[in-house]
Amino acid sequence: MSLLKEPDFGTPAKEGAATISLEVDGLPVSVPEGTSVMRAAALAGVDIPKLCATDRLDAFGSCRLCLVEIDGRRGTPASCTTPAADGMVVRTQTPKVAKLRENVMELYISDHPLDCLTCGANGDCELQDMAGAVGLRQVRYGYEGENHFDAIKDQSNPYFDFDPSKCIVCSRCVRACDEIQGTFALTIEGRGFASKVSPGAGESFMDSECVSCGACVQACPTATLQERSVIELGMPSRSVITTCAYCGVGCSFKAELRGDELVRMVPHKDGGANEGHSCVKGRFAFGYATHPDRVLRPMVREKITDPWREVEWEEAIGTVARRMLEIRRLHGAGAIGAITSSRCTNEEVYVVQKMVRAAFGSNNVDTCARVCHSPTGYGLKQTFGESAGTQDFRSVAQADVIMVIGANPTDGHPVFASRMKQRIRQGARLIVIDPRRIDLVRSPHITADHHLQLNPGTNVAVVNAIAHVVVTEGLVDESFIAARCEGFDEWAEFISREENSPEAVQQLTGVPAAEVRAAARLYAQASNGAIYYGLGVTEHSQGSTMVMGMANLAMACGNIGRDGVGVNPLRGQNNVQGSCDMGSFPHELSGYRHVSDDAVRQVFENLWGTTLLPEPGLRIPNMFDAALEGTFRGLFVHGEDIAQSDPNVGHVTAALSAMELVVVQDLFINETAKFAHVFLPGASFLEKDGTFTNAERRINRVRAVMKPKSGRHEWDIVCQVATAMGYPMHYDHPRQIMDEIATVTPTFAGVSFERLEQAGSIQWPCDADAPDGTPIMHVESFTRGKGRFVPTPFVPTEERSTRRFPLILTTGRILSQYNVGAQTRRTANIAWHQEDLLEIHPHDAEDRGITDGDEVTLASRVGQTKLRAKISDRMPTGVVYTTFHYPVTGANVVTTENSDWATNCPEYKVTAVQVALARPAVRDRTAHAQDGVLAVELVD
């Protein structure tokens, strides 16, 4: 449980400056220089009335409620905008300021509807509180004068209402949108009495630039901007701190409840990753957890063509165990395995991989990181020695040059994007490397210094060209390299070759050499240069090479081991870092230790009382191939929709159809469940206890706000399957699982639920050397000792545009939807995105006679699908883009089986395609199994 109302100190904290001492109402207080009188008073325990001030926003000084008297100074300054000074004596409760405040409140209240008792904000309204705080007893001006009582409500947003009749024009919403979110969607229109808050140019919220992050709603001191759920359900009465289950930013929230009903999610001010901010998904899109589509009873069926039969848990668990054992008896342990979920908790993932290794008797366990960030794990391990990003998110506030490669943070990692944009508005320079003109390239008050709009598939050539400039122009950090790295000479010889120069590759990459040179100089000469990257780096045939290329570049410029620098993957799913950490890969036990290491295996064998195989098991694509060959027959899929998310869906569904037993544990009947023989209902994040690990290696607590709707915990179901297979697994609580993880995983040695309760969150490694965790990695030396330069020759992908398939398709996601859409499609977020669209450059569209909104076919050498076109000059010519949030689109029907050479991560970002206006002949849809996935047919 946590406080419903967190303390608000009125103005932001100041850090690092000298300390000054003053006296407020006779109480002594010492604060950092630059602190406001209001904050100093709050720290001394004195609350000064305020309306326009809040500690999330810079002081504004408009409401005049916070007036104080200061000895030796004339007048009554506003305490929020007045800096505290050494020796200052402040009086906050004199008759003079009391009278002034009462007058101010009188004016506000005379133009405010007096419906407090029926207002949705009753009990959580700062105007109401302040009226009490200033002792308002009468409104001498009456209520009859000119007022705003009839102002029209804007209810266009599905999650919050805007009722201007209650607005006090404090501007907190406008400033929240500007300063915190960085969208600049709101303005104050008009002057004096006529001034009012306006989204865009007098538009509704839905028609404006608003991205529905909710920062303005949270900042509003009245009921003007208010969550619809609060209006409908009433004010919450208690809260539980937990972690968002969408993306890898890992925002902390206070889940606020009324009784047992979740009313709203409020971003937690003390959340290490988000510090009180959120995006539309985390704050508002939680309704899927109680959606009627949830499957709450276990189900089994003999064949996938049979109807499902609801059964008791014991029968479902017994069926899984019996059929897995039967396959193992007939075909060996190599014929069974599991896929862990990057959406589930560390504790759940750990027990699934333990079940596979100890109860199934194979190493056939893999995770969806295979299809996203496995090259990150490989590339950073090879170069730095640790399979994780180097920084915490806060670090970006110290960056002078930010390089964003193959990532679209404003859509994919919005809360981190807001932090990044804050830093850029303060003056940090920006380099974007992406085929698309993503929002960051040009958005309010932000313009990228360089946008290297490369051809898809040429990342490595571009990063090599940047490094070539750094080395050949003498921009390397020689002392860093000499002290901290190895392999530089060999790498420098390679990278200096003419074939890697910007001029040599510009034809291939499409990026003018002069732009590459300028970007390289900017990054290399920055005091602090930071690289942030996403799936546009990893999901390529050279994904691992590119990760190593970026690591080489960062080391060459000495940009590792302190605030403001580093190489940072922006992780996709909420717990993809954690699922990798927990030993989900077929070749690695927890903490990224190879299964062939006898000493490591011994640790697990001793604790688990069993023998483990020293050879790696099957990766996901190998499982599919083996299934089609008949050697892999039983698969346990934990919270993952591989039939929608994995490439070449036709191949995946053929493999699933070939298996004797597919077990799906999930919230909904997803595409994969259509091929399942046993369905085990899962629990939503609101029903779970455990931990998620975000992209900063931050281990955050997930706390249950309600009981599992299916009646069972996922970790317990997995333990029961293992036990029924003859390998007893039992825990009373997830904290015991974490204790076991800490016992066998050196980087988690100091982690426990108790430590997390005290610290709030911890960034691994957390051990005896770093008992409080490690925000910044590789500070004194790299995890592997010396950072290793690895030559990264560019090898073009085999996927090429041809006359038949002349365009390149690249895929991604958008802000309001998440991954395969199973959650967000079951929320009001569909208001923003009802279907996947194909973005295409106007010239490519015109060549094909396509206009905006036309239905088009999208065909590759492996399949075809149909969707609507969106003409967009964000795209370069020759490249088209779509999302994969809707099963009916089946974007992955067309993506190929090409993959990263080191990790098999699919090459989602490069598929040669043709786009044409949909013709009747290709409009037929043949549904697989039940509905949703399109038939896979080659088109001529």
Catalog residues that contact ligand FES under the rule CB under 6 A.
Answer: 50-53, 61-66, 78, 80
Which of ligand SF4, ligand FES, none does residue 905 bind (CB under 5 to 8 Å by kind)? none
Residue 340 interacting partner from ligand SF4, ligand FES, none (CB closer than 5 to 8 Å by kind) = none
Name which of 268 and 841 has its Cβ closer to ligand SF4. 268
Task: Decide which of ligand FES, ligand SF4, none touches 65; Cβ closer than 5 to 8 Å per partner kind.
Answer: ligand FES
Minimum Å gap between C-beta 560 and ligand SF4 is 26
Distance between CA 845 and CA 431 in Å, rounded?
A: 29
- Helix extents (H) in 198-345: 215-219, 228-233, 280-284, 313-331
83: Cα within 13 Å, side-chain hemisphere? 9
And the tokens for 692? 């998620």
Q: Which is nearer to ligand SF4, 266 or 401 (CB)?
A: 266
Residue 745: which of 428, 421, 346 has the closest Cα? Answer: 346
Q: Which is nearer to ligand SF4, 295 or 415 (CB)?
A: 415
Q: How far is the CB of 579 from ligand SF4 (least distance, A)?
A: 16
Q: Which is nearer to ligand FES, 80 or 266 (CB)?
A: 80
**Which helix or strand (DSSP H or E) is residue 656 part of?**
helix 649-658
CA separation (Å) from 319 to 195, 358, 678?
A: 67, 19, 8
**Closer Cβ to ligand FES, 63 or 177, answer by number:** 63
Would you call 827 helix, strand, or coil by DSSP?
coil
**What are φ and ψ of residue 223, in 5° steps?**
-95, 15
Nearer to ligand SF4, 186 or 814 (CB): 186
Query: For ligand SF4, which is the closer residue by CB, 199 or 906?
Result: 199
Helix 459-472 to helix 543-556 angle (10° resolution) is 20
- Out of ligand SF4, ligand FES, none, which partner does residue 183 contact, by CB within 5 to 8 A per kind? ligand SF4
Q: Smallest distance from the beta carbon of 51 to ligand FES, in angstroms?
A: 5
Residue 244, contacted partner among ligand SF4, ligand FES, none, CB below 5-8 A by kind: ligand SF4
Our CB check for ligand FES shows the closer of 171 and 363 to be 171
Residue 663 binding target from ligand SF4, ligand FES, none, CB below 5 to 8 Å by type: none
Output 273 or 667, the one with its CB closest to ligand SF4.
Answer: 273
**Residue 31 interacts with which of ligand SF4, ligand FES, none, CB < 5 to 8 Å by class:** none
Binds 64: which of ligand FES, ligand SF4, none (CB < 5-8 Å by kind): ligand FES
Give the phi and the psi of residue 456 in degrees, each rounded to 5: -55, 140
Mode of pairing for the β-strands spanning 661-666 and 678-681? parallel
Distance CA 510, CA 508 (A): 6
Name which of ligand SF4, ligand FES, none residue 66 binds, using a CB cut-off of 5 to 8 Å depending on partner kind.
Answer: ligand FES
Q: Work out how close the CB of 276 gets to ligand SF4 at its nearest, in angstroms, rounded to a whole number.
A: 11
Least spacing, CB of residue 642 vs ligand FES, in Å: 54
Q: Which is nearer to ligand SF4, 811 or 824 (by Cβ)?
A: 824
Residues that bind ligand SF4 (CB under 6 A): 167-173, 176-177, 181, 183, 185-186, 197, 210-216, 219-222, 224-225, 244, 246-247, 249-251, 274, 278-279, 281-282, 413-415
Read out DSSP for 178-208?
Answer: IIII----EEEESSGGG-EEEETTT--TTTS
Provide the minimum distance between the beta carbon of 503 and ligand SF4 in the complex, in angstroms, as a whole number. 40
- And the tokens for 253? 């929230």
CB atoms within 10 A of CB 126: 20
Q: Is residue 399 within 8 Å of residue 529, measured between CB atoms?
A: yes
Q: Contact 548/376 with Cβ under 8 angstroms?
A: no
Nearest to 454 by CA among 396, 401, 526, 519: 519
C-alpha count within 13 angstroms, C-beta hemisphere, residue 746: 7
Q: Are 672 and 640 in contact (CB under 8 A)?
A: yes
**Helix 346-354 with 714-724: angle, nearest 10 deg:** 10
Distance CA 228, CA 220 (A): 14
Q: Minimum distance from CB of 277 to ligand FES (Å)?
A: 21
* Residue 60 or 308 with smaller CB distance to ligand SF4: 60
The listed partner (ligand SF4, ligand FES, none) that binds 593, CB under 5 to 8 Å by sort, is none
CB of 184 to ligand FES, least distance (A): 22
Residue 392 carries which side chain, given as an amino acid letter? D
Q: Which residue is nearest to ligand SF4 (CB)?
A: 282
Residue 80 contacts which entry, ligand FES, ligand SF4, none (Cβ below 5-8 A, type-dependent): ligand FES
Structure tokens that stand for 715 in this block: 């970790």
Partner from ligand FES, ligand SF4, none binding residue 63, C-beta < 5-8 Å depending on class: ligand FES
Compute the least distance from the CB of residue 877 to ligand FES, in Å: 52
Residue 181 contact, options ligand SF4, ligand FES, none, Cβ 5-8 Å cut-off depending on partner type: ligand SF4
31 or 678: CB nearest ligand FES: 31
Going by the DSSP 8-state scheme, the letter that residue 12 receives in this structure is -
Enumerate the β-bridge partners of residue 911. Answer: 809
Q: C-beta of 111: minimal distance to ligand FES in Å?
A: 17
Shortest Cβ 79–ligand FES spacing (Å)? 6
Q: Which of 821, 823, 816 is nearest to 213 (CA)?
A: 816
Q: What is the CA radius of gyration of the chain?
A: 29
* Least gap, CB of 406 to ligand SF4 (angstroms): 18
Q: How far apart are CA 101 and CA 65, in angstroms?
A: 5
Q: How far is the CB of 751 from ligand FES (least distance, A)?
A: 41
Adjacent-strand bridge partners of 27: 24
Q: Tally the C-alpha atoms within 13 A of residue 634's C-alpha that lie toward its C-beta.
A: 24
Residue 821 CB, shortest distance to ligand SF4, in Å, is 14
Residue with tokens 């959120």, as numbered in its chain: 278
The interface partner of residue 169, options being ligand SF4, ligand FES, none and the CB cut-off 5 to 8 Å by kind, is: ligand SF4
Beta bridge partners of 255: 240, 265
The residue among 24 and 52 lying less far from ligand FES, judged by its C-beta, is 52
In terms of CB distance, is 66 or 339 closer to ligand FES? 66
Can you give the three-state secondary structure of 340-358, one letter per residue? Answer: ECCCCCHHHHHHHHHHHHH
